[in-house]
Chains A and B, each alone.
Chain A
Amino acid sequence: MAVDNLSLDIREGEIFGLLGPNGAGKSTTILMLLGLTEPYQGTIDVAGFDPISNPVSVKKIIGYLPDNIGFYDHRTALENLVLTAQLNNQTYIQANDNALALLEKVGLADVAHKKVGKFSRGMRQRLGLADTLIKKPSIVILDEPTLGLDPMGVKDFTQLILQLSREEKLTVILSSHQLYQVQKICDRIGLFVQGKLLAQGKIDELAQSLFKDKDQNIQLRVQNQQISMAKQVLEQMETVRKVTQQGDLLSIATEAQVNNAIAETLIRNNINIVSLHQKTYGIEDIYSHYFEGGDNHESNKQLVH
């Protein structure tokens, strides 16, 4: 069983990130939304339609970018897009105009008449995005859209998604295991592991509720020869609970935010600070909390709405 007891509400006009390790059931969830895989039991409601009994109506309003999308390599970019548009019941002239306009938008206008077989990975993804948008969908589902792109390509592509979704007022569901990009563009996220949804919500809210009971963590770097001295000094402070040394990095567990006090103490003892910063909990911490530490799942269940 790939997906078990999934309950997911996605709001109109938001960018929702599905997060999870490989094989967590993200793609299966997406295929179920499209009616391409049937759930054993339960119901799905996509904008008022049931994808099991009425897949065509659902597929009319959902644009789907499969992970590692394929095109007909012996056809040009324009021909591939026109075919998709025609399958969505556009006449050839409409299809051609829409395709050219979209190719312009995704920055492929100059290669519109080149065969897709010669396209690079980044160009294919852009063409894929155009292909998802040509049916004028209200919901767009992107499965691992930035997999295999170079860092600049990822940046451009996520920006393109963000821009197009705001322009066309789209609801975007984005599955990924690349955390950074998700953090940057998603309004809300859902965390998947082994077919179960462990948490969903806004990133900062999730982080707050997860880590509110935990110690504040301050990370400090000082000059190499002063490490042991710094450690001694800090351990004598009242607010500091514990100091652990990882190489030349001291991580300090405290009860409250005491950056200034620590800095003062260090300066008074003539210790040169290289860097001092308060650790904030981001998506990676949420992720590793669930997938690597993942110890107390019971207590996390309250987060699932």
Chain B
Amino acid sequence: MSQTSNWSINISNLNAFGVLVRKEIADQIRSWRFIIILAIILLTCVSSLYTSLTFLKNTSPAPNDPEADFFFLKIFTTSDGSIPSFHLFVGFLGPLLGICLGFDAINSEFNGRTLSRILSQPIHRDFLLNAKFTGALTVIGVLFTALILLTTGVGIMLVGFPPSGLEVTRIILFTLLTIVYIAFWLNLAILSSVWFKHTATSALVVIAVWLFFTMFYPIIINLVAKALQPNPYASQREIMEYQHFMLTLMRFAPSQLYTDGTNILLMPTIRSLGPLNMEQLQGAIPSPLPIWESVKIAWAQMTGLIACTILCFAGSYYLFMRKEIRC
């Protein structure tokens, strides 16, 4: 008896969760800021894809080039130098999209005094936060899957043959990685929206974090690099250690993790993200790596990115569950 009533409560809860997610998605895609960011992303992506396609058309790869097999992956990574390539653009604008979808998730409900009204409905408190996250993630997922599929479609139309299974797998993984990367920024924005009462503060804080990692962190890294630079006549071991250390420092930036991951996924010839010495290269066959080997190289980066995402979400969950909901 109690079992059946528990069941019915669970099902009705799921319905309510679905209603909240639908409301979130509707709110997101109707808002002006989403439309504007979407327009910017579409414009930049279309222009970068256009340049890469025209570039690829004019410089067809040599038949013995090991990368010739991966034409469709090259669409996302090539550029003629005038405009950054697709994956660099996504790495730059993706965070902005995530921030724009999440920075006012909770505090706008709080300031609009809708929070207490929604939470006094028969739903669990975490439903609201989970629905905010799920709704925004759905929007991001649909957007980027559509964008990447469209690109591949245009590529097929231009060259006249479909991508191979290997390419398709790599493109799917690339899409997933992109979604995780944007989800990280989304969660950071949601965390700040729970933390700060004013939407403006919350937006500025997340944008400051983003600017820090895209603009100032590289500058700081450069300073450190100059200070620590070993003597040019130093032993090879010292130089390797120095390079490894600098790479570790750089990987504290989420954008670096994303770049590492996409480079490995979209350029199958890359064998290592760090420096390799001559002995390691000796006997290597200049052929592309199988997918699983590529994934293994960037495994730490991808799991790191997912871990950061979960950490941010756990933080916002903790804060939200203890938040005073009274206005």
Query: Does A83 lie within 8 Å of B119, measured CB to CB?
Result: no
Say what secondary structure dominates the interface of chain B.
Answer: helix
Q: Does A64 contact B (CB under 8 A)?
A: yes
Partner of B123, one of A27, A31, A62, A87: A87
**Nearest chain A CB to B148's CB is how many angstroms away?**
31
**Nearest chain A CB to B108's CB is how many angstroms away?**
10
Known: A31-B326, A69-B113, A86-B19. A56 touches B120 (CB 8 A): no
Q: Does B15 contact A (CB under 8 A)?
A: yes
**Nearest chain B CB to A213's CB is how many angstroms away?**
41
Query: Does B23 lie within 8 Å of A83, measured CB to CB?
Result: yes
**Nearest chain A CB to B114's CB is how many angstroms away?**
4
Q: Does A70 contact B (CB under 8 A)?
A: yes
**Binary interface encoding of chain B residues 119-151 relative to chain A, with 1 for a CB under 8 A from any of its CBs, else 0:** 111111100000000000000000000000000
Residues of A within 8 A of B16 (CB): 86-89
**Nearest chain B CB to A229's CB is how many angstroms away?**
59
Query: Does A70 lie within 8 Å of B121, measured CB to CB?
Result: no
Residues of A within 8 A of B19 (CB): 83, 86-87
Closest A residue to B120 by beta carbon equals: A64
Query: Does B112 lie within 8 Å of A59, measured CB to CB?
Result: no
Residues of B within 8 A of A (CB): 9, 12-13, 15-16, 19-20, 23, 27, 30, 112-125, 324-327
**Nearest chain B CB to A40's CB is how many angstroms away?**
15
The A63-83 residues at the B interface (CB cut-off 8 A) are 64, 66, 68-74, 83
Residues of B within 8 A of A73 (CB): 112
Closest B residue to A128 by beta carbon equals: B117
Residues of B within 8 A of A89 (CB): 12, 15-16, 122
Separation of A37 and B27 alpha carbons in the complex (Å): 28
Residues of B within 8 A of A60 (CB): 122
Known: A86-B19, A87-B16. A71 touches B114 (CB 8 A): yes
Residues of A within 8 A of B326 (CB): 27-28, 31, 36-37
Query: Does A66 lie within 8 Å of B117, measured CB to CB?
Result: yes
Kindly name the residue among A68, A88, A131 whose own CB sees the greatest number of chain B CB atoms within 10 A.
A88
